[in-house]
A and B are shown apart, each in its own frame.
Chain A
Amino acid sequence: MVSENILMTGNEAMAQAAITAGCHFYAGYPITPQNELIAYMAKHMPDQERVFIQAESELAAINMVFGAAASGKRAMTSSSSPGISLKQEGISYLAAAELPAVIINVMRGGPGLGNIATSQSDYFQATRGGGHGDYFTPCFAPWSVQEAYELVKLIFDLSDYYRTPSLILADAIIGQMMEPLNLKTKYPISRKLPQKTWALTGARKRKPKVIRSLILKEGALCEHNEHLRKKWEEIKAKEQRFATYKSKAIEYLVIAYGSQARLIQEAVDILRKDGIKIGLFRPISLWPYPVKGLKKTSKDVKKIFVVEQSLGQMVDDVRLALPKNEVHFLGKAGGGIPDVGQIIKFIKKKIKT
């Protein structure tokens, strides 16, 4: 067992959070920058008589998770961008069959094999379902090791509560940086969770159960989609999460998430010293997008700046939420990070024009 206050990488913290949350089954396939996570699970899951499998591929891993989830157990897999693309088939099936599971993406540069540097280029994939069919997956983005730990625990509850696969969208910086972690924070449990009466546990003293996503009867799939839509609507209404920094009485607002928001925080402090009334809005839930919080926080601002480690993905959600605002975008993909100097220069220039 680990002691309560320790130095850990984000990857290890997310692994430990899963164990703390009662994750019974983990399957994964190695890929940088999330290898510390799979190694931590390999080391610690068997000690606690839980299941660890190094799968033959991400396809196999996500489908093993499907089987574990169908058994009513808490199950997780993790990967990085190219591997998450392979998992999309399985995530679509999980969403269709309403099986709870947690998927961690420690993003790296893309498209293609890309590189192993940090990136936020999988935002579209993470927030628009990602696989085929009409579905969404709740998606939380941590900005520190401590928050990564908290969000993984929380998202296990949320997945069980709504019977849905859910994502943690971290980036290479969050996954690999070391920070002090306080393991004392309370768990369980954030809400009353329903019994898993749907789980396949053997038809003893009850009728046989089937877990399926093939729905052929006329009209039945429309009905199932409607049922899912209501679930997504409920999640949208209830699960928006965000944080702000110096966001009172502001004229300008910067929006960023994950590791990028850390740099923005620094930039905000420097800009404020120059007398610019600027604050940070940091979405924690990327889906559902924290539209309510964003509208409130941005009510009186003149200009909005969105900064991402991508060519501009989350900025679409900002523009959808705030169609009348002036929104400027700064971003770099492929492992590039808009740094504090660039951010300040960009914002000052856009304020003047």
Chain B
Amino acid sequence: MAIKESKKFAKAKSLNEVDTHYCSGCGHGIVHHLITQVIDELNMAENTIAIAPVGCAVIAYDYWAFDSSEAAHGRTLAVATGIKRCQPDKLVFSYQGDGDLASIGLAETIHAANRGENISCIFINNACYGMTGGQMAPTTLVGQKTATTPKGRDPGAGQGWPLQISEMLAKLNGVKYVVRSSVATPAKVKETYNYIKKAFTVQLNREGFSLVEILSSCPTVWRLDPVQSNEWINTEMVKQFPLGVIKE
């Protein structure tokens, strides 16, 4: 991935210089940049332990110049809990897709949040399962076509409605900060940087669980080009997943 040097978005020190494995226009790479920049700014690279999910971001640790662990699919916040409870002084964050966090790992997600684990969760909502070839995710929009909803997601056909995880988790006492953002415009990218920083700061202040949900493009599964993908986020996804701070 060619990285344009600019003052604000120069390559972070804690971002490794490796070729990206993400598809062009994928939101994961942008979020990796933001996370590593925040960690640099907080000067926490030596004190961070990240947990990568199973999903397209499974090898996120290849990009990160800090300690990381894998977790079995969906068990990300359980692994994060084990690490954080053993090392309360470390900055511990999970990085999870919507399948990992909101489907197979939903129990682990809700209970880590409800215990008020002092962990930050970066939640990539791309409305599909990227890694396995574009199946329905809990966050897939009504009418959205995927490999397993070939006629478009139809709640009337027993396929359920899009799950609004952030709104659900915001209701829990252990959760101290919840925000939904996107990386679909330059302005939103900048905002997301601040939200991630805020979430990490909440953790460093030992306040409790923090969640940053990020609407993130998956041009490959959506069968759109990168520009159209961002437009789809800005026009369609935000209707189901309104942006902004949900709890602080």
Contact = CB atoms under 8 A, between A and B. Distances in A.
- 10 closest cross-chain pairs (CB), A and B: A67-B82, A63-B78, A63-B75, A71-B86, A56-B111, A64-B82, A68-B82, A67-B79, A67-B83, A204-B46
B17 interface: no
A97 B70 contact: yes
A82 to B, nearest CB: 16
Nearest to B62: A210
B83 A90 contact: no
B87 interface: yes
Interface size class of B (residues with CB under 8 A): 35 or more
A12 B64 CA distance: 43
Contacts, number: 130
A51 B51 CA distance: 20
Contacts of A203: 45-46, 65-67
B68 interface: yes
A186 B107 CA distance: 41
Contacts of B83: 67-68, 70-71, 200
B79 A208 contact: no
A272 interface: no
Contacts of B199: none
Given A64-B81, A93-B72, A71 B87 contact: yes
Contact of B68 (A56, A93, A201, A208): A208
A65 B87 CA distance: 13
Contacts of B90: 202
Interface stretch (A133-141, A173-181, A211-219): A211-219
Contact of A212 (B48, B49, B69, B84): B69
B108 A27 contact: no
A339 B86 CA distance: 46
A210 B84 CA distance: 16
Contacts of B80: 67
B108 A63 contact: yes
Given A97-B70, A211-B69, A64 B87 contact: no
B67 A68 contact: no
Contacts of B87: 71, 201-202
Q: Which of A57, A66, A69, A73 is packed against the most chain B CB atoms within 10 Å?
A: A66
Contacts of B66: 202-203, 208
A24 interface: yes
Interface in B70-126: 70-72, 75, 78-87, 90, 107-108, 110-111, 115
Nearest to B16: A208
Interface string A239-278: 0000000000000000000000000000000000000000
Contact of A202 (B59, B67, B70, B84): B67
A60 B111 contact: yes
A75 B82 contact: yes
Given A53-B85, A202-B47, A90 B72 contact: yes
Given A59-B75, A67-B79, A200-B69, A25 B59 contact: no
Contact of A214 (B67, B70, B82, B107): B70
A27 B49 contact: no
Nearest to B83: A67
B85 A59 contact: no
A84 to B, nearest CB: 16
A212 B60 CA distance: 11
Q: Which of B78, B81, B87 is packed against the most chain A CB atoms within 10 Å?
A: B78
Nearest to B86: A71
A99 to B, nearest CB: 10
A93 to B, nearest CB: 5
Contacts of A25: 82, 85-86
B61 interface: yes
Given A202-B48, A202-B90, A63 B79 contact: yes
A55 interface: yes
B47 A60 contact: no
Given A53-B85, A93-B72, A64 B79 contact: yes
B170 interface: no
Contacts of B86: 24-25, 51, 67-68, 71-73
B58 interface: yes
Contacts of A57: 107
Contacts of B85: 25, 51, 53, 64, 67-68
Contacts of A93: 70, 72
A61 B58 CA distance: 22
Contacts of A89: 72, 75
